[in-house]
Structure 1
Amino acid sequence: MAQTPLDDLIALLARLPGLGPRSARRAALALVQKRQVLLEPLAEAMADVARNARECLVCGNIGTGERCEICLDPKRDATIICVVEDVADLWAMERAEVFRGRYHVLGGTLSALDGIGPDDLNLPHLFARIDGDAVSEVILALGATVDGQTTAHYIADALEGRGVTLTSLAQGVPVGGELDYLDDGTITAALRARRAL
C-alpha cells in the first residue's frame, strides 16, 4: 500500500516530543477535519517559522533576527546572565515573568556517558561574554541532574577569579509539594538550602 500525504503527516507528528503514533493520528485527524481553522493557519505559521526563525548570535535563544527580542530589550539588566541548558528552559523562566536580566543557552550539559564535552557546548561564547561585557552576576539555572551539576561545577571552576558573583537557583521542596511525595534527593537539597524565617 502506497504512503499517502496523510501517512507522511502522521509519521512526522509522531516524531515530535510527547506524541506517539496514536496521538499523532488523533492530531492529524483533528487538523484535517478543521482544515480552515487549524491546518491551513498551522501550515502558514510553520512555513513562516521555517523561513525566519534563527538562533540569536548573542544568547542562543530562538528569534527572527541576529539578536533576539530579549537581547535587544534595553530594559533588561545586561549585568546579570542566567545560564540555561536549552531554549525550553529559557522560555520556562520567561513564563514566570520574574527575571529581568539576559540569558545564555548552553545547548546541553556535559555528559561523559554521551561524549559531550566543553567544546560541544556554547561555553566559550559564555566566557567571552563575561570577559567582554560588564557582567556582575551569573545565575546557573541548570537541572539538578548529575550532568547539570557537573556542568555547573565546570562553569564555577572556569569563572573563579574573574570577579563575577556566581549563584544558582534554589533547589528543594516545590510550592505546594508534600514531603511524603518527594524523593530523598529533593528532601536533602531542601534541607541543605534552608533559610531563616
Structure 2
Amino acid sequence: MDRAPNEIEALIAQIARLPGLGPRSARRLVLHLIQRRDQSLRPLLSALDRVAQTAQICRACGNISTLALCDICADPKRATAEICVVEDVADLWAMERGGAFGGRYHVLGGTLSALDAIGPEDLRIPELVTRVQQDGTREVILALAATVDGQTTAHYIADALSPLDVQVTALAQGVPMGGELDYLDDGTIGAALRARKAV
C-alpha cells in the first residue's frame, strides 16, 4: 500500500494542531505547500530547521531569539530606564507591532492563577525585581491583560517593587476588561500605552 497519503494525512494532522488552524485550513495549506514545493515547501522546511536549531529564550527579557540577547535587548537605542512587563512573547510582539514603546521588555511567562496552581515562583518576577535594581529602571509599565489573573499579577508586582525607587504604571484606557493584547489593534495599544496610570 502506498504510504504517501498516510504521510500527508499525518502532516495535515500536525498542521491542524497549530493555533488558529483547523482540519480544513490545514488541508488547504498542505495542498498549497505540496503543489509549490520549490517556492513554498522547501524554503519553509529550511526556515523551520534553522529556527529549531537556534531558537532560545533571551537571557535578559524572556523574548524568543536566535541569540543569547534578543534584538530589542541588544539595541543600544532602546531606552533602558523603562521596562514594559508582558505576560508572554505574543504580547511583546503585539506591543512592538504598534511601535509606540521604545524601551525594554520583561516577559513573565504567564500570570498568577490559583486555579492553575501558578504562583510567583513559576513566573519571572524575581528576575524583574533584579533587573529593576541593577539597571537603574525609573518606570515599570505593567501591560497585562485586563482579567482577574492579570490584575492580580499586576498588584503582586507592584507590591514586590514598592521598596524600590521606581514608578509602577499600568496600561489604561483602550484595553477592555477581559481583553488580551495579542487581539488588540495597533491604535488601541498605542492609546493605552500613552494613557497609562500609576498602580
TM-score computed with the length of structure 2 as normaliser: 0.84
| 1:123 matches 2:125 | yes
Q: How does 1:20-59 map to 2 (within 5 A)?
A: 20-59=22-61
CA-based RMSD: 2.0
Match of 1:9 in 2: 11
Greater displacement, 7-16 / 79-88: 7-16
1:18-73 CA-partner distances (Å, limit 9, x unpaired): 11112111111111111111111111110010011111000000111111110010
The partner residue of 2:108 within 106, 109, 112 is: 106
Count of aligned pairs: 177
- Alignment partners' CA distance in 1, 2:10 and 2:52: 18
Aligned with 2:140: secondary structure?
Answer: strand
The partner residue of 1:150 within 144, 149, 152 is: 152
* Percent identity between the two aligned chains: 63
Match of 1:76 in 2: 78
Aligned with 1:42: secondary structure?
Answer: helix
Match of 2:188 in 1: none
- Alignment partners' CA distance in 2, 1:48 and 1:37: 17
1:66-114 CA-partner distances (Å, limit 9, x unpaired): 1111001000001100000000000011111111100000011111001
- Alignment partners' CA distance in 2, 1:80 and 1:173: 20
- Alignment partners' CA distance in 1, 2:48 and 2:132: 35
- Alignment partners' CA distance in 1, 2:123 and 2:173: 24
- Alignment partners' CA distance in 2, 1:27 and 1:150: 40
Unaligned runs of 5+ in 2: 177-191
Match of 1:186 in 2: none
Match of 2:97 in 1: 95
Over 6 Å off, 4+ runs: none
Match of 1:138 in 2: 140
- Alignment partners' CA distance in 1, 2:54 and 2:174: 39
- Alignment partners' CA distance in 2, 1:141 and 1:172: 12
Matched AA of 2:157: I
Unaligned runs of 5+ in 1: 175-189
TM-score computed with the length of structure 1 as normaliser: 0.85
Q: How far apart are 1:171 and its partner, in Å?
A: 2.9
- Alignment partners' CA distance in 1, 2:175 and 2:165: 32
